[in-house]
Structure 1
Amino acid sequence: MIRNFFRHLANSFKNLFRNGWMSFAAISMVAVTLTLVGIFAAGLLNIERIASGIENNIQVNVYLDPSSQDNSETTTDPAGQTIANSSYHAIFNQIKALDGVDSLVFSSKDEQLAQLQKTMGDDWKLFSDDSNPLSDAYIVKTKEPKDVKKVAKAIQKIEGVDSVEYGGTDSDNIMAIASKVRLWGLVATGILVLVAIFLISNTIRMTIFSRSRDIEIMRLVGAKNSYIRGPFFYEGAWVGLIGSILPSAVIYFGYHWVYDNYNPSLLTEGLSLYDITIFLPVIIGAIVIIGIVIGSLGAILSMRRFLKI
């Protein structure tokens, strides 16, 4: 059995060179098809990741009344004495108790002004201390993106809340687009993989048909079906393996270029592409496996008509 394995493996490799043009055509078809599948899959997976990141970055900004002291543990009485603030975290606790709320962080108006001055330039440096027009706020994160709208409406009803912002229609549109990307991307990927299987299998079938005479001769001299099938099975696997080299290289260098040029800017927005060290081994491994499986199965299925008694 082991002897037959190495014999079939050696013969399959020799047959690649004996049938040079047909082998070249099959390998070329595998390479082109897997390149398209790899590029499409890599792009789709990262688009879906960015869409999910945008969804997860949607937050509810809760702006408090200008007179609110919800985050102050102490306050001053009419006589100017420092006393405990009886309404400390009254709004905070009500928001925290809402269904769907995951976390909330206090952001003072001074912190917001400092951030605006840093990002917007000198125009906002006119405002400081008592002239600060901003309000204290709570930044609310929900457990699921779909909870944002529900939580925002509930917070708006809490006494002491001046206004609530979560992106409104824009946020709803983002979540709808993300959902469509997942659905149609999955459908498109499935269709493209089926097309790849069809194209590669038919190309390999053509190489088998061109050697039907060799198969008939082996049958006439009494060779078993398993013996006839062996070299063609491994030859199909070789075609798939060699054909996956170019797509793997394209994905490797192409993704490195995209990652190095675009991921830094995405990080500033709290988004990112899939990490190279994890993503590339997975997608390249998938491309190689798909090539080998489709190549070997395509060869076996193509031989069925020649091995029927």
Structure 2
Amino acid sequence: MTIAAVSSVTITLILVGVFLAVILNTTKLASDLENNVRVSTFLKLGVHDDSKEIVDPKDNSKKITNPDYQKLAKEIKAVPHVSKVTYSSKENELDKLTKSLGSTWNMFKGDSNPLYDVYIVEADKPENVTKVAKEIGKLDGVDRADYGGANTKKIFGLSKVIQTWGFAAAGLLLLVAVFLISNTIRMTILSRQREIQIMRLVGAKNGYIRWPFFLEGAWVGVLGAIIPSLLIGFLYRIGYIGLQKSLAQEGLYLLSPNTFVPQLILFMVVVGVVIGSIGSIVSMRRFLKI
């Protein structure tokens, strides 16, 4: 029964941890996208709009003055509702990824860099981002103009689905966990009826008798929280590294594992203790007649 109770708490907390991580991150991304007034304008390969000098196409050993220097930047600034334009080379974009995801990305420096030169365009208002992105996407030399607004509704929809079904499933498992812990404590009480009767005869108070069973339920919750805490923390860091590299180019970031994972682990431990304590209290009220 004890193993069953601990296993139930473990399964419950794993699901609660997964759903909580997904819900909080999708909510954050949706909020960031909704308030995002930036358009990431990726330049086509071979377009060096921010370079004053370029390699002479006729002689690779020579450099010439770039006749189209900041031509595209001026066209972008002329687009209605554009408030600010900032250039970021593909080297700078790689440095951002390296800082956020680790030194592994240093292997892509130089000719191996797969990123694009980018103009970060800020609109005057969030509602004008769509118009700005469409106009910039038509300009010659622009590979694509990305903004977050197109995905906001999808992310909000996904978040609502996860909240509805995730919390329902987690709530059902919480009840199962409480039931199993309650039965575990009940079996313990039944096996110690003689000891409890002796304790009462020598004058032990009700609280003194109840306290060990209460602690037993809490410890079942703590034991059930160990595996979920380690598993969720490990999986979240892997998921963060895998997803963040694609989001960073859009200026979007998931919750940092350095702060989110410790908070999530603390939350799961607290929930485990609460589940165990509730199961113990339910059992004592129903079966411990003192």
Normalising by the smaller structure, the TM-score range is 0.5 to 0.7
Given that 1:38 and 1:287 are in contact with CA atoms closer than 8 Å, whether structure 2 keeps it comes out as yes
* Structure 1 position 173, deviation (Å): 5.5
Q: C-alpha deviations, 1:90-143, integer Å up to 9, x for none?
A: xxxxxxxxxxxxxxxxxxxxxx7xx62xxx21379999549x688323255466
Q: C-alpha deviations, 1:191-246, integer Å up to 9, x for none?
A: 24422320210110221232342354345332543222111100111111111110
Give the whole-Å Cα distance in 1 for the aligned partners of 2:243 and 2:122. 29
Q: C-alpha deviations, 1:126-165, integer Å up to 9, x for none?
A: 99549x688323255466x5xx16x989x9xxxxxxx699
* Structure 1 position 274, deviation (Å): 0.7
Quick check: which has more Rg, 1 or 2? Answer: 1
SS at match of 1:264: helix
Give the whole-Å Cα distance in 2 for the aligned partners of 1:213 and 1:121. 76
Give the whole-Å Cα distance in 1 for the aligned partners of 2:229 and 2:279. 21
> What residue number does 1:13 align with?
none
> What residue number does 2:176 align with?
199
> What residue number does 1:245 align with?
226
Please tell me the residue identity of whatever aligns with 1:226.
G
Please tell me the residue identity of whatever aligns with 2:224.
G
In structure 2, the CA distance between the partners of 1:172 and 1:248, relative to structure 1 (3 Å rule), is: closer
> What residue number does 1:274 align with?
255
> What is the TM-score when the length of structure 2 is the normalising length?
0.62
2:2 to 23, 37, 51: 23
Matched, 1:258 2:239: yes
In structure 2, the CA distance between the partners of 1:32 and 1:273, relative to structure 1 (3 Å rule), is: same
Given that 1:152 and 1:164 are in contact with CA atoms closer than 8 Å, whether structure 2 keeps it comes out as no
Given that 1:59 and 1:142 are in contact with CA atoms closer than 8 Å, whether structure 2 keeps it comes out as no
> What residue number does 1:303 align with?
284
1:38 to 17, 25, 29: 17
The equivalences for 1:25-104 within 5 A come to 25-59=4-38
2:267 to 283, 286, 297: 286
Alignment gaps of 5+ in structure 1: 1-21, 62-111, 156-162
Please tell me the residue identity of whatever aligns with 2:175.
F
SS at match of 1:244: helix
Give the whole-Å Cα distance in 2 for the aligned partners of 1:252 and 1:245. 11
* Structure 1 position 280, deviation (Å): 0.8
In structure 2, the CA distance between the partners of 1:192 and 1:211, relative to structure 1 (3 Å rule), is: same
Backbone CA RMSD of aligned residues: 3.6
> What residue number does 1:4 align with?
none
Given that 2:13 and 2:272 are in contact with CA atoms closer than 8 Å, whether structure 1 keeps it comes out as yes
State the number of aligned residues. Answer: 218
In structure 2, the CA distance between the partners of 1:179 and 1:253, relative to structure 1 (3 Å rule), is: closer
1:225 to 188, 195, 206: 206
Where has structure 1 moved over 4 Å in runs of 4 or more? 58-61, 123-128, 170-173
Give the whole-Å Cα distance in 1 for the aligned partners of 2:148 and 2:208. 62
Q: C-alpha deviations, 1:165-188, integer Å up to 9, x for none?
A: 9xxxx9776343344344444434
The equivalences for 1:144-223 within 5 A come to 145=126, 148=127, 174-221=151-198, 222=200, 223=204
In structure 2, the CA distance between the partners of 1:185 and 1:141, relative to structure 1 (3 Å rule), is: farther
Please tell me the residue identity of whatever aligns with 2:287.
F
Given that 2:37 and 2:122 are in contact with CA atoms closer than 8 Å, whether structure 1 keeps it comes out as no
Given that 1:233 and 1:299 are in contact with CA atoms closer than 8 Å, whether structure 2 keeps it comes out as yes
In structure 2, the CA distance between the partners of 1:261 and 1:237, relative to structure 1 (3 Å rule), is: same
